[in-house]
Each structure stands twice: as C-alpha cells, then as structure tokens.
Amino acid sequence: MASEADSLQNGSQGAAAPNPFNFQTQVISTAPVKSNVGQRRGHRYKHSSVSAQHQIFQEPPPRPPPVLPASLPTPTIKEAWKSLQRDQRMRLYWGLCHVAIAIFIFYRSGGSLAAMALSHLVFFDAGSAAVCVVVDVLGNFEVWRRSSIRHPFGLERAEILAGFAMSIFLLFGGFDLLSHNLKHILESVGNHEAHHDHDHDRISTGSLDLVSAAAIASTLVSAYGLKNHARIAKVMRVSYLATLPSILSNPFHFLTLFFSALISLLPLLSISLYAWLDRLICAVISLAMFSLGMRVAVAQGLMLLMSYGGNKGDVGVTAVLREIESESGIARVEGAQFWQVHYGLCMANLKVIITNGYDELALGKLRNRISALIQNRLGEGYGTGGNVRWEVTLETTVDATI
C-alpha cells in the first residue's frame, strides 16, 4: 500500500494538472479611448456596392461656397481721400465753397426776414451738395453697391438716412422762420419802446443784390455741376412742376431761384410795402420748407421701413396689378408686395394663380412679361426719366378650382 501511494505521488509530480482558468497576458494601451456614440452602424460599408444600392440615407450633394461674403471692408477717411478722382475733388471743393456762401448770406441778411429765409434754403442746398459728394466718393468702393451678409443691399441705404436727416433740417428750418416771423409781427403790433430799439433798419440795395446774386449763382452751379438733390426730387414727384424746364422742375431749385429774384426787387419798393412783402416772403418760404420737409420725410421714411410709396391711379401699383390680371392664362393675383430699398432699387414679390396649361417655356415667358411690365410702368423714376431698377420674384400656382 505504501508503495502504491508513493507511485501515485510520483506520477502526479511528473504530469502537470490541467488549469481550469485559461488566462492570457494582455497589453493595456494608455491611448485615449475613442467613443463610438453617434456613429451609424454599417458606416464602414457605405462605399460597398451592396450598401450603395440599399442605403436609405444618401449623403447630400456638395454645396458650392456662399456667393455673398460675410462683410466687406468699410473705407476710412484716409482711404476715401486717396480714392478721390479729379472731378470728385472739384465737387468736394465746391461743396466747401457752397457752405461758405450759405454762411455769407446768413450774416448779410440782417434787416431782412426774406434774406434770412433765403439763407436757410441755401444751407439746405449746401448740405445736399455735401451728401452728393460723399455718395459719389463711397461709390468708388465695393462695399457701397455689393451685397453682403452684414449689409444685404450694400451701404446705399445710408444715403436714405442722410436724406431723412436733411428733411428734419427742412422741418426745423421752417419752424424757425415761422417763429421769427411771428415774433416780428407781434412786436410791430405792440407800442413798447423795446420794439423801437430793436427795429430792423432797411437793408441796403447793394446787400440784397449781392445776397440774391450769390444764391442764384450757387444754385445754378449745384444744379448743373453737381445734379444736387436730383435723387431726392424724384421720390417727391411734384407733378405740377413737371412741365417746367429740368432745373425748375426740381422744387428746391425753383424756390431758391424764384425767391432770390423776388428779393432782389425789394429795394425798389416803398418802405411800407417793403416791410409787408419782406414778412410775406419769409412766411411763404417757411411754409414751403415745412411742406417739402414733410414730403421728403415721408418718402425717406417709407424707404427706411421697406415700403413703397409709388404713384396711385393709372400709373401706380393698382394699375399694374390690374394689367397683370388681364393677361391670358392668369386667374388672379393672390398676393403682391412692393417695396423700395433705396433710390436705385425696388423689389416686388407676387403670387399668381394660373390656369392649367402652362409648360416651363410658357412660364418663363410669363415671368419675363410681368417683370418687363413692372419695370416699364413703375421703374424709370416713376415715369420721370430716372433709373430705378426692379427685381421681381414670381410664384405661380395652378388654380385648383378649374
């Protein structure tokens, strides 16, 4: 028995006993673990021929880079000065001279309410000339006309803000002249001694002639050389001046030239008639400034609010819509939006209900006809020879009732 136990012990030592746990040495990496959260299963097979046929979610086609830049560089004063051309530099110098003439007329108008009112008109002319020069210089840069994400219509809408500021000047100038006129009328009614001490002496003939000549000369130079506030005059649409020559059809030029010629005749009148007519001219100029200021403010305000204040009646939006609805194949115009972005650009969005029977070629011709109709009827400065461009967007829907 002892020998059998020894033999068993020796056999167990000679043959290794089987290990129930088959552990293997593994190398643990210290690299960061990549998460596969959000990855679609089967992604590794997306380029295989089998998955390409049965793939439900196709990859979108590659998009071209955006056409509009995010923003464009705005020129500094130094860059604007370097970009000045010869004619632009001359217009800038004339703008400074125009401001000097307005200041001269204002200081030489003592003793005449009409001459002081005329100086307000010349100040407005000088301010409009300055705006024209700035607009002309900024037109040298790409940011003025090219659209970007930051400025979808370029910087041309800044001109609308400048025009709105000039309309506020007209309104306040009209109120200022009216208050001065009422003050002198009330002083003439009273018999207090302060009025006699403050009474204006009659202005000399040479001073009035010099003031009138300076106002007429500066207006003619601005009208023919700078085309001063011609763009503002287009949006005002003063129809009763349209039959006059080009320079007189502008209400601002007409007022300045007319009252300058009238003021030059004041010294030829008697003292009593001179005082009465001087106050009357001042009152008329103040009312005209207030009226024109209101019209300019409304026109500029509509542009700032992205609206359209076009003509009414036979040459306006209503007539254009009636003509579009009279086209063969058009059932009705379901929606129409018109607005003006700035002086040179207007936009129109229309939704037209058409009859069934238009192919792609016929729809293209219809779009061209409607765009040409809107451009010819509402473009061109509202019928006054301007260069307003219309961008028309047309949406067509087949009439379901047919």
| CB-based burial label for 395 (10 Å; 0-12, 13-18, 19+) | exposed
- Please report which residue ranges of 139-245 form alpha helices under DSSP H: 142-145, 157-189, 193-198, 205-221, 230-236
What is the pLDDT averaged over residues 28-56? 51
Q: Which residue has the tokens 């309104």?
A: 171
Question: What distance in Å separates the CA atoms of residue 388 and residue 378, rounded to the nearest whole number?
Answer: 8
Query: Which tokens in the block code for residue 184?
Result: 């002198």
Token pair belonging to 81: 């000065």
Write the CA distances from 122 to 129, 214, 251, 258, integer angstroms: 10, 10, 13, 13
Which secondary-structure segment (H or E) carries 246? helix 246-249
Q: How is 84-130 classified by DSSP, letter by letter?
A: --HHHHHHHHHHHHHHHHHHHHHHT-TT-HHHHHHHHHHHHHHHHHH
pLDDT in tens, 259-311: 999 988 888 878 788 888 888 999 999 999 998 889 888 888 888 888 886 65
pLDDT digits (tens, 9 = 90+) for 210-256: 889 999 999 888 887 776 666 666 555 554 555 556 666 678 888 89
**Euclidean distance between CA atoms 303 and 293, whole angstroms:** 15
Residue 100 confidence (pLDDT) above 90: yes
Q: Which residue has the higher pLDDT, 89 or 35?
A: 89
The neighbouring-strand residues paired with 352 are 333, 396
3-class state of residue 143 by DSSP: helix
The CA distances from residue 240 to 30, 274, 296, in Å, are 89, 30, 16
Q: What would the pLDDT profile of 53-96 be if each residue is shown by its tens digit?
A: 555 656 667 766 667 777 888 899 999 999 999 888 988 898 89
Instruction: Note whether 394 and 353 are within 8 A (CB).
Output: no
Per domain, the residue ranges of the chain are 77-304, 313-398
* Encoded tokens for 27: 């190398």
What pLDDT, on a 0 to 100 scale, did the predictor assign at position 45?
Answer: 47
Cα(280)–Cα(285) distance, integer angstroms: 9
Q: CB burial class (10 A; 0-12, 13-18, 19+) of residue 103?
A: middle
29 — pLDDT class (breaks 50, 70, 90): very low
Q: Which residue has the tokens 């129109």?
A: 348
The token pair that represents 247 in the structure block: 């320079």
What is the mean predicted confidence (pLDDT) over 186-206? Answer: 57
Any residues with CB less than 8 A from the CB of 247 and at least 6 apart, and which?
Answer: 220, 223, 224, 253, 257
Instruction: Determine how many CB atoms are found less than 10 A away from the CB of residue 366.
Output: 20
Distance of alpha carbon 46 from alpha carbon 279, whole angstroms:
89
State phi, psi for 42 to the nearest 5 degrees: 85, 5
pLDDT more than 90, % of the chain: 11
Reported confidence tier of residue 195, pLDDT bands at 50, 70, 90 = very low
Q: Could you tell me which CATH number the domain at 313-398 has?
A: 3.30.70.1350
250: helix, strand or coil: coil
